[in-house]
Amino acid sequence: MAHLHDEKIKELEKKANEIRQTLIESLIEAGSGHSAGPLGMADIFTLLYFHVLEHDPKKPDWPERDRLVLSNGHICPVQYATMAHAGYFSIKETKTLRKLGTRLQGHPHRTSLPGLETTSGPLGSGLSQAVGMAIALRMDGKKNIVYCLMSDGEHDAGQTWEAAMLAGREKLWNLVAIMDRNNIQIDGNTEDIMPLEPLRAKYEAFGWHVIDVGGHDFQELNSAIDEAKAVFEKPTMIIAHTIPGKGVEYMERDFRWHGVPPGKGPEDKFPRDKQGAEAIKELRTLWGRIKSEHE
C-alpha cells in the first residue's frame, strides 16, 4: 500500500467531505435513514475505497479483489455515496436511496448492486460472513484481504462473539475488522445500554491482534491497516474511535441522530424544516476549515 503523503491526505479529506455531502443529500431526498453513523464512518470508507482496497469499479466481480463486508448495514448511505464517487455508478443515483425499485435499498442487498459482497440487515451477522469468506479464500490459496466494518452496538449480539472465537482459532491473518467505536446506539450511549468495555482485552483474549486508532486520522488508520497486513498468525481488530455525526455540528455525539435523517430529527437546535439546509451548509464550509488547518 502506498505511503500517505501530505497531498494525498488533503485529497482524501476533500473526498470524504464530498461523500458526506452526497450521503446527506440522499438522506434528505429519501426522508428516512441513518445520519450519525454514516457521517462518522466517511473517513474510513474514503481511505478504503480511494487508497487501501484492491478493487476495480469497472469489474466489480474481479476475482483478485479484496472483500468489504458491511455488517452494520444501516450505515449503507456512506457506502453507496463512496461507491458512487469511486465510479461504481453515477452520483445522481444516490438520490434514489430507499425509493421503490431502487438498487440502493435501506440495507445493502448483494444481488441488487454490483460491488456489494453481502446482504445485511440483522445486526451481528457480518463478522460471521467475513470469517467464512476469509476461510474460503485461504482454502483457495488466495491472498485477498477481507475487511469487515462493524458497529460497537452490534457487539450486544452473541453471534458476533461466536465469530470472533472462530476467527481467533483459525488464525485468520487475511481478516481485518474495523469497529466504529462511536459509543452510541439507537436507545442511548453504549455503556448505558449494555456495557462493552474492555473491548480490547476481550478481542485479545479471543486471539486477535488489536489496534486502537482515531477514526478520523487518515495517517493513523493507514498505519493500522499496514500493521494488520504484517500480522500473519492472527486476525486484526482495528477499534476506530469516531465522532457520530462528524461534520454536522448539531448532530455530533448525539445518539438521537442515530436513526433519523435531517428533517426528522430532534428540534432543540434547528427546526425540522431547516435541518437539511443547515447540514449541507456546514458540510460545504467544512472543507474550507480543514484546508486552512493545512496552511
- Please give the residue range of the domain that contains residue 284: 6-294
**Cα separation, 220 vs 200, whole angstroms:** 17
> What is the domain count for the chain?
1
User: Which residue has cell 440522499?
Assistant: 26
- 1 in a structural domain: no
pLDDT tens-digit readout, 142-167:
999 999 999 999 999 999 999 999 99
- 136 in a structural domain: yes
- 50 in a structural domain: yes
Residue 1: what pLDDT? 63
Angstrom CA distances, 110 to 121, 184, 266, stand at: 11, 27, 33
- 268 in a structural domain: yes
Record the cell numbers describing residue 114, joined without a space: 454490483
Each residue's pLDDT tens digit in the chain (295 positions)? 667 888 999 999 999 999 999 999 999 999 999 999 999 999 999 999 999 999 999 999 999 999 999 999 999 999 999 999 999 999 999 999 999 999 999 999 999 999 999 998 788 999 999 999 999 999 999 999 999 999 999 999 999 999 999 999 999 999 999 999 999 999 999 999 999 999 999 999 999 999 999 999 999 999 999 999 999 999 999 999 999 999 999 999 999 999 999 999 999 999 999 999 999 999 998 766 666 666 5
Does the bond joining 122 to the residue before it have cis omega, within 30 degrees of 0?
A: no
With pLDDT > 90 as the criterion, what percentage of the chain qualifies?
93
Q: Tell me, what CATH number does 96's domain have?
A: 3.40.50.970
Residue 60: what pLDDT? 97
Residues 6+ apart with CB under 8 A from 176: 145, 146, 147, 148, 225, 228, 229, 235, 236, 238
Q: Exposure of 178 by Cβ count < 10 A (0-12 exposed, 13-18 middle, 19+ buried)?
A: buried
- 16 in a structural domain: yes
- 10 in a structural domain: yes
- 196 in a structural domain: yes
Q: What is the pTM assigned to this prediction?
A: 0.96
